[in-house]
Amino acid sequence: MPQQLEPGHELREAMHKKLGKVHQLGYLAPGEIKSLTSYFTIPKGKGNIRMVYDGTKSGLINAMWAPWFAMPMVESHL
């Protein structure tokens, strides 16, 4: 199902800029699609955004679930 466009031209332009950087780093590449991850933006100051990638819709979160992990406690540092 296609993702909805972000409202507002400035927000979409900022999103394209952020996704362009992710593409340049090699995290996205043309070719066969093996995994879809939706995303949305959160305003971060004037003219800047934070991209939030949502792995729940694709099932990624369920596939990466770990039954246990150690949470650091103050006692472990002492």
pLDDT tens over the chain, length 78 residues: 667 777 778 888 888 888 889 889 988 888 887 777 888 888 888 778 898 888 777 777 677 766 666 666 777 666
Place of tokens 């819709």: 57
Domain assignment present for residue 14? The answer is yes
In a domain, 78, yes or no: no
Instruction: Please identify which residue in the block is written with the tokens 């949502």.
Output: 54
Q: Is the pTM of this model over 0.85?
A: no
Number of domains composing the chain? 1
| Residue-range definition of the domain harbouring residue 51 | 1-60
- pLDDT of 69: 63
Give the C-alpha separation, 7 to 52, whole Å: 16
C-alpha to C-alpha distance for 5 and 12, rounded to whole angstroms? 7
Q: What is the distance of C-alpha 4 from the center of its chain?
A: 15
Identify whether 74 is part of a domain. Answer: no
Please report the pLDDT score of residue 25 as a whole number: 92
